[in-house]
Structure 1
Amino acid sequence: MVCKSSEIVDTAHALADAARRAVLPLFRTEGIGVENKAQTIAGFDPVTAADKAAEQAMRAILAERRPDDAILGEEFGIRPGSSGLTWVMDPIDGTRAFVAGAPTWGVLIAVSDESGPIYGLIDQPYIGERFEGGFGRAMMRGPQGERVLKTRSDRALSACTLFTTFPEVGTEAEGAAFRAVSSQVRLTRYGLDCYAYALVASGQVDLVIEAGLNAYDIQAPIAVIEAAGGIVTDWSGGVAHAGGRVVAAAGREQHRAALDILEGFV
């Protein structure tokens, strides 16, 4: 199947629209069927009926529009394809926030080829903001209208705002690495899941540092942030398409300063 950028973009927006329709009626409602996917008694890794419904709705559209493309989704795994393109989807990135009623979760949709993500979309249905990047596009649309995405310029670490989702970050060593960077920045905040990456792309935040990510957590943010002029790598400065330890930066100065600290822990 031919890869036309307009086709890809139109399909991605159709997927995001379908996910919105599936998810919003269940947000902040009782009885959304929370299950725990965690493998340990102490863990809590929720999945809800909304996660499943959104991914199923997106897969149905792809089956009709892009049957030759592969799919990697968080809830229903891999569907092989023959086109060389893969749709990498997280129907609700931030299910813990969703369960808690916080509007900081989002729908993540990326399209990747052998080089990595070539287009990405971050959608927050409840507040009505959508961020996209790839094929020469870097745009957001929301209640305040539509505008071009552009990351912040280079700045010293001491002037930076840093985000991560969980205060503990990952392993004990990974947490120590994060705290070492955090001690050098102006402001550190926690939470937001994929929305923190959208804030990097929109010029509000300098850095997001996380660990233990999967491909479906990061491929859409990579495409959006890079299209807006930012940088996303692993903690050694390599590609982060598969997830793992990730640093997203608004500019090269912030990125290099963070890596200089993180590389001492990897």
Structure 2
Amino acid sequence: MTEFESFAVELAREAAGVTLPFFRGDYAQENKAGPGAFDPVTQADKEAEAAIRRLIAARYPDHGVIGEEYGEDRPDAEHVWVLDPIDGTRAFIAGLPLWTTLIALRTAGTPSVGVIAQPYLDEIFLGGPSGAILIRDGASTPLAVRSCEKLTDALIATTDPDIFTGSELGAWTQVRAAARLARYGCDAYAYAMVAAGRIDLVAESGLNVWDWSALQPVVEAAGGQVTDWRGGPPNGNGQIIAVGDARVREQALVAFKRAAL
């Protein structure tokens, strides 16, 4: 591993030491959304991000940080860590081991190192200059996407079709009708499964920078691609597609481009 890849793994393990004691336990939680909506945040989210930030400040005081819970600190620095301490908070509060900790290092504006960590399963999916690996039980296994020539043979995923607005939902429904199988509720863990060669396409909308920055290096180092709904680089519009085989993406883009922002 490079220095920054090793540090990203260290950060994931630090976060795991905070989140695991809360999982399936008692903890404070609140609703960040307004009346009639539900966007939960827990004590575990806040304490895990605080722990990660402390390690970054101690090791690399000149680096910036962007985090879901505590905002931005020097976001224009050459090296910026992008953090989502618990992606999939709904899964976390439901006791489902599909939430993850997302950690990315953005270098000169582009994600260069990414970690998708699921501590309850003791899994760290790492992507960066050294390649893509799964770290589990102290061992490292290379990650590689799988070949899938046709959308009709593809296993696809999204967190919840309710995240899509009118035209977006129409695009997803068309792609879902063509695909062999769709799975829901996996949040960022679905992207780890693209890198592991288990899922062929993930499409989502409404994502923030901390939701997708860690995914890109992991999927791409495993041989896949992460784009927006037009097939270009991810940007601030929140529409993301990750694929293992670009041929599947090109077929899906026939529908997604019509709803692209």
TM-score normalized with structure 1 length: 0.94
The CA distance in 2 between the partners of 1:136 and 1:144, in whole Å, is 18
2:26 aligned with 1:35: no
Q: CA deviation at 1:7?
A: 2.2
Report the AA paired with residue 27 of structure 1: F
Q: CA deviation at 1:170?
A: 2.1
Q: Any conservation in 1 of the 2:201–2:243 contact (CA below 8 Å)?
A: yes
The CA distance in 1 between the partners of 2:117 and 2:5, in whole Å, is 14
Q: CA deviation at 1:90?
A: 0.2
The CA distance in 2 between the partners of 1:60 and 1:133, in whole Å, is 23
Q: CA deviation at 1:230?
A: 0.3
2:162 aligned with 1:168: yes
* Equivalent residue, structure 2, for 1:214: 208
* Equivalent residue, structure 2, for 1:229: 223
Q: Any conservation in 2 of the 1:132–1:139 contact (CA below 8 Å)?
A: yes
The CA distance in 1 between the partners of 2:152 and 2:139, in whole Å, is 32
2:18 aligned with 1:22: yes
Structure 1 unmatched runs, 5+: none
- Matched position secondary structure for 2:17: helix
How does 1:30-109 map onto structure 2 within 5 Å?
A: 30=26, 32-39=27-34, 41-80=35-74, 83-109=77-103
Report the AA paired with residue 38 of structure 1: A
State the identity as a percent: 43
Q: Any conservation in 2 of the 1:218–1:241 contact (CA below 8 Å)?
A: no
Report the AA paired with residue 28 of structure 2: G
The Cα RMSD (Å) is 1.5
Q: CA deviation at 1:228?
A: 0.3
Q: Any conservation in 1 of the 2:102–2:114 contact (CA below 8 Å)?
A: yes
Match of 1:190 among 180, 184, 189: 184
- Matched position secondary structure for 2:258: helix
Q: CA deviation at 1:240?
A: 1.0
Q: Any conservation in 1 of the 2:2–2:130 contact (CA below 8 Å)?
A: no
* 1:61-112 alpha-carbon deviations (Å, 9 max, x no partner): 0010011011000000001167501100100000000001000000000011
* Equivalent residue, structure 2, for 1:203: 197
The CA distance in 2 between the partners of 1:209 and 1:22, in whole Å, is 30
The CA distance in 2 between the partners of 1:180 and 1:246, in whole Å, is 17
Q: CA deviation at 1:144?
A: 9.3
The CA distance in 1 between the partners of 2:238 and 2:77, in whole Å, is 26
Q: CA deviation at 1:34?
A: 1.0
* Equivalent residue, structure 2, for 1:7: 3
Q: 1:113 to 1:37 in 2, by over 3 A?
A: same
* Equivalent residue, structure 2, for 1:254: 248
Match of 2:151 among 132, 157, 165: 157
The CA distance in 2 between the partners of 1:45 and 1:162, in whole Å, is 25
Match of 1:136 among 106, 130, 146: 130
Q: Which moved more, 1:107-116 or 1:119-128?
A: 107-116
Report the AA paired with residue 261 of structure 1: A
The CA distance in 1 between the partners of 2:149 and 2:223, in whole Å, is 14
Q: Which moved more, 1:166-175 or 1:42-51?
A: 166-175
The CA distance in 2 between the partners of 1:253 and 1:55, in whole Å, is 37
The CA distance in 2 between the partners of 1:82 and 1:177, in whole Å, is 35
Aligned length: 260
Q: CA deviation at 1:145?
A: 4.1
The CA distance in 1 between the partners of 2:167 and 2:213, in whole Å, is 25
Report the AA paired with residue 250 of structure 1: G
Q: CA deviation at 1:189?
A: 0.9
